[in-house]
Amino acid sequence: MDFRLTDDQRALVRGIRDLLGRRFGPDALRAAAGADGAGELDRGLWRELGAAGFFALRLPEDAGGVGLGLPEAALLFEEAGRALLPGPLVATHLAAGRVPGAAEGTAVVTRADGGLVEWLDAADVVLGVGDGVTPRPLRSVDPLTPLHRLAYARLDTGDVPDAHEASLLTAAEQLGSAGRTTALAVAHARVREQFGRPIGSFQAVKQLCAHMLVRTEVARAAVYAAAVTADPVEIAGARLLADEAAAECARDCLQVHGGMGFTWEAEVHLHLKRAWVRAARGLGGAVAEEAVAESLAATP
């Protein structure tokens, strides 16, 4: 199967990367994470995403959408993960065409996922929280992902709409994060010197960076393939690889940066924390492992 991007897909990636670079680059990310109002969503950016077609990407053109498919959506979410864009992106994207204003970015939609609700206080519409259920605030390790916990955990995907698509888009975000931390580690290793030499010239650092690249590219192949087939088992496998790539690449990037990686000057610690939070969404970890194991056991 050929996973090389078409000209239109490359143009789509360039467009969203340019938009996020202008509106939410590394400086804006660090400023947002360090601000007192870190739990406040940038409504202006949300509307710009809506105007760019981020949320309406898969709606038919006659319904005001862009008319593209799941592979293109995965590319957009990979860029969102690369920029560490905050907000309930997956929930709002999946609500486009169902919740008024979601497609245009004038409404922020969140939903219960894996017993947690992201960005509850900033949302206009909350899906999946039944009457009489009072979500409780939960201290989040990621300053740009405020969380509430439900009194119950919904790990069974049977009654969660779009659960597999949500898992794939989360995997795409994890992939983007893994690619970003790999690039950050390599860039730092090229300029940081020890004993009069760039640290990237030392074998131990070379190996760290090489392993990061391998993890990222393996996850990329799995995510792209799952986006094309939309097969639930392939999505589960892609999710496992992407979750691992995001967390492990962030850890290795942190090691390459040394103590500097824990400061606000380096964004790597934010990638690590976001990777942990994403890994807890819906069909992550144990659920994905069970899906892959059941498929393997059923294979003659």
How big is the chain, counted in residues? 300
pLDDT at 167: 94
- Which of 97-101, 128-132, 202-206, 258-262 is the least confident region? 128-132
pLDDT surpasses 50 at 155 = no
Q: Average per-residue pLDDT in the chain?
A: 91
> In terms of pLDDT, which residue wins out, 189 or 129?
189
Edge-first strand listing for the sheet containing 136-138: 125-127, 109-113, 116-118, 147-149, 136-138
The full set of domains in the chain, from first to last, is: 7-150 (1.10.540.10), 163-298 (1.20.140.10)
pLDDT at 156: 46
Rg (CA), the chain: 19
Residue 130, both tokens:
């039944």
The predicted-structure confidence for 184-231, as pLDDT tens digits, reads as follows: 999 999 999 999 999 999 999 999 999 999 999 999 999 999 999 999
- Give the integer Cα–Cα distance in Å for 76 and 74: 5
What is the pTM assigned to this prediction?
Answer: 0.93
pLDDT at 161: 61
pLDDT surpasses 50 at 158 = no
